[in-house]
Amino acid sequence: MAAMFRTLLIANRGEIACRIARTARAMGLRTVAVYSDADARAVHAAVADRAVRIGAASARESYLNAEAILAAAKTCGADAIHPGYGFLSENAQFAEACEAAGLIFVGPPAAAIRAMGLKDRAKALMEKAGVPVVPGYHGADQSDATLKAQAAKIGYPVLIKAAAGGGGKGMRLVERAADFAAALEGARREAKSAFGNDHVLIEKFVACPRHIEVQVFADSRGNAVHLLERDCSLQRRHQKVIEEAPAPGMSEDMRMHLGAVAVKAACAVSYVGAGTVEFIADASDGLRADRIWFMEMNTRLQVEHPVTEAITGFDLVEWQLRVAAGEALPKRQDEIRARGHAVEARLYAEDPHGFLPSTGTLERLVLPHGVRVDTGVREGDAVTMFYDPMIAKLIAHGTTRKGAVAKLADALTKVEIAGVRTNNAFLIRALRHPEFVAGGTDTGFVARRLSELVPEQTVPPEHVLAAAAQLLVREHGAPDGDDPWGKADSFRLAGKARRIVEFVADGKRLTASPEASGAHAMQLVNGDIAVMEGGETFVLRPHDPLHDAEEEGADVERIVAPMPGKVIQVAVKAGQSVRRGEPLVVLEAMKMEHTLSAPHDATVEAVDVVLGDQITEGAVLVRFAGEAS
């Protein structure tokens, strides 16, 4: 390793920073972490050789603050900056600023970032290079009339997509012309907030789409290779949650064709470093070379890169560092082969009923052994509104796809999390669903199978209730003495009394007897009981008659915030009549927009928030006529 790579500053946070630090330290590099006020005690700050504060909790005041990061690099004597795979990793100005400051930017040249950073320009460039692109409009005219006319010309359904950025932000599916204007407004607003750029493009929505991407790598000596493909079709809210490599149903000829196209795309912009070329395939008749099109190129390493590492045996962060230091690629194309199959699941702090982010303290966090786990949190850490709510990535590798999928699903059943809601049970059901097990799942899988993957909340099993009751009785016991009125059980004039405990779950009153159970129960800070079994967490509240009477009907005539966030749009005012489903307030939380709508026809009594308010979970936003103030 060249001497200039003695000290590496990692301009990112969480599991990303932890993962990069692991490889850098193994290579003998000194690592420097940066942290915001919200991350002062974060894992990534603790594992680095040195940590430097760069600002307040908001990402814009810290992890997106290029000046603060460059100042930190100067303070600690860093020679190079790795931007991770988020925040500033695809910011051409930041890459140039690093170079101007005499620092090595571990990423592609600024010119390549610019060429591929805007989807509309990238598609025009790819068309010129002979790379097939998705039918659509990516022109400069951004007027409402032109965009609507182009959508009609392409033919509904269409996708509106932010020209800058990715991750599902600024994306809207529009199925009919009547919905276009509202979808365009929302896409622009979200794109402006996330990327500082509200330009959009219009794409034909592919009926049976599979999201397939190719990992590419190039060095500064003119060498370029691909490291096979990944299938990232299992998505929710246009964001990936389960990824795998290789792609199911991909023939070797198709694999080589797609890899060659991806390398061609990278070479068209004189690429250097790690990149991901993303394609959309119409899989209605299987994977065919004439039905797969270029979508975009992410000029960075991807969150899902571990599945590629698993099947190739290569450390892609090490490749990044060596290429940035001026070394040649470690392997030739003919030396890159797939070994077995790998699957990754993203474990999020979110409620799968709507996939809304969940904030709170990780009062219990147990992650399994036997699979690769990439995480940046530990038990006792807080999941805040400021950053992405991912808790961990779990990656399983096996000799066959069936074996890898089963291994990952089994590992997820051993996860125990309390304090926040998670998508863990959803991931297990998805991995075990016959359609996914058969392979070739398209991006519509979650929406199509939602009722199976996220079943309606039901009464917890009896043994779960029994475990909660046993914990409650064990922790709080019952008064001493023989007075039946003083015992916390059921009173009988004859026969043995049987202790009964009452709970409330999802608004339902439940009774249980304390009995031994294999489920693990614990009491949370707020007094609720969390019972964890088979990868699922059930939350029960001990029944309090006075509290229930007070709360009865409280939420019927009001809209409350389902999560902490920022009010970015208020669509109604006091005295206004609204129809069921009509938008009321739009919140921005964890980099995504969430629209809160009227649950029924009503008249607005009061709006308790204004544009720009930072609100907490449970805050009252809108009250309808008929509710007492």
Which residues on neighbouring strands pair with residue 138, listed in sequence order? Answer: none
- Residue 502: is it exposed, middle or buried by C-beta count within 10 angstroms (0-12/13-18/19+)? middle
DSSP per position, 59-101: GGGTTT-HHHHHHHHHHHT-SEEE-TTSTTTT-HHHHHHHHHT
Active-site residue (options: 13, 210, 300, 322)? 300
Place of tokens 């949650």: 241
Could you say which DSSP state residue 622 is in?
Answer: E
What are the φ and ψ backbone dihedral angles of 129, each rounded to 5 degrees? -85, 0
The closest alpha carbon to 248, from 210, 290, 292, 275, belongs to 210
Place of tokens 């930041």: 94
Is 30 catalytic? The answer is: no
Could you say which DSSP state residue 335 is in?
Answer: G
Signed CA dihedral, 564, 426, 210, 232: sign only: positive
Q: Contacts by 605-611 with C-beta closer than 8 Å and gap 24+?
A: 605/574, 606/574, 607/570, 607/572, 607/573, 607/574, 609/567, 609/570, 609/585, 610/567, 610/570, 611/567, 611/568, 611/569, 611/570
What are the φ and ψ backbone dihedral angles of 196, each rounded to 5 degrees? 70, 20
Please state, as a whole number, how many other Cβ atoms lie within 10 Å of the Cβ of residue 19.
24
* d(C-alpha 14, C-alpha 376), whole Å: 4
* d(C-alpha 412, C-alpha 432), whole Å: 11
Place of tokens 């009923």: 353
Give catalytic residues, as residue numbers: 300
